[in-house]
A = this chain, B = another copy of it.
């Protein structure tokens, strides 16, 4: 498993460009004697099928494959050979764990209650259409029809050896907005000649705070952030436009609707109050990741047997990051877990150039997925 992981890590690839990674996964599946088929369009994902004579429920184990545009600064012997690209989000670990689970399960193929599918998905980091949707549209949940899907993500906030689980909202919907605020260009000494786009944009940023403070239920997790604001070239010329880009995070579909409506109204009203115009691009990203109760409980029971009660940590609050594993859970039940990789020294956070999870997590992660698959097949019905 270490070798697999090192190979993935050394040649990281950005979203939609997972060509070499794909070849390595296919090679590993071949070694394991597991047939694999491509799925999706363009740079495709892979579906492996660990079959079994029993016609029990089908469980899919999913890994994501892409890396990030980050310059690696770890001291790992197998650190990235591709300047500016790095597996800083642990997808190398995720793939290795699914392969490891396949290895474990293939040794006990007889014990399997039904087929196990292995989903290797590109472009999870892409954020908008993502990679799960093309996989699903390409039929990864069909032939044989998948009954449950299980995924996991490394979590440096959770100690190594711990597994985080939760029922209900687990990760957020992440929606994108771009606001192009149009005023009138002119000399800074004659502001009366037209709406001031810098002021209008600034008032919008300030005004958007009220979405989180007044519009949503205070107990319902919501973030509205503006990450980028750009306008103007020099101190004494008022620019024609200022462009804002930001994100809205929610964990409930009705709150997601509410926030989009409120944002549009807020932005338009503020701009209109100054006579400025504003173009709004509002793009839905991944839906919220909501773990269903029954499948999650079945997985947790199996993991308690495998690792002991104390290894399981109930996560009380969702993370407001996004994850397109949520697309699978919109179609079939299952659960998404957090794989503890933290606790020794000061573990670097996800997306950090020094992120280097402990290799001991590979075996734990593989065993987690294998136990989850077996547990779901046994507990079924």
Residues of A whose CB lies within 8 Å of any CB of B are: 127, 168, 172, 174, 176-178, 187-192, 195-196, 198-199, 201-239, 242, 245-247, 249, 262, 265-275, 316-321, 351
Bound Cα distance A119, B236 (Å): 27
Give the number of times this chain occurs in the complex, counting copies: 4
Among residues of B, the one whose C-beta sits closest to the C-beta of A188 is B225
> Do A188 and B272 have beta carbons less than 8 Å apart?
no
> Do B229 and A225 have beta carbons less than 8 Å apart?
no
> Do B215 and A192 have beta carbons less than 8 Å apart?
yes
> Do B221 and A227 have beta carbons less than 8 Å apart?
no
Bound Cα distance A237, B176 (Å): 12
Q: Which residues of B contact A270 (CB under 8 A)?
A: 269-270, 273
- Select A320's contact among B204, B206, B218, B245, beta carbons within 8 Å: B218
Bound Cα distance A207, B205 (Å): 12
Known: A190-B320, A201-B229, A230-B230. A174 touches B236 (CB 8 A): yes
> Can you identify 19 A-B contacts, CB atoms within 8 angstroms?
A174-B189, A178-B235, A187-B321, A191-B213, A192-B218, A198-B227, A198-B228, A203-B206, A211-B213, A218-B221, A220-B317, A227-B239, A228-B231, A228-B234, A230-B230, A265-B275, A269-B273, A269-B274, A270-B270
A26 → B minimal CB distance (Å):
32
Known: A188-B246, A235-B176, A274-B266. A206 touches B213 (CB 8 A): no
> Do A239 and B235 have beta carbons less than 8 Å apart?
no
Known: A227-B236, A235-B176, A266-B274. A189 touches B218 (CB 8 A): yes
> Do A210 and B219 have beta carbons less than 8 Å apart?
no
Q: Which residues of B contact A178 (CB under 8 A)?
A: 235
- Select A217's contact among B174, B192, B196, B351, beta carbons within 8 Å: B192
Q: Which residues of B contact A214 (CB under 8 A)?
A: 191-192, 195-196, 199, 209, 274
A309 → B minimal CB distance (Å):
14
Bound Cα distance A289, B10 (Å): 51
> Do B219 and A274 have beta carbons less than 8 Å apart?
no
Residue among A202, A238, A247 with most chain B CB within 10 A: A202
> Do A235 and B229 have beta carbons less than 8 Å apart?
no
Q: Which residues of B contact A127 (CB under 8 A)?
A: 236
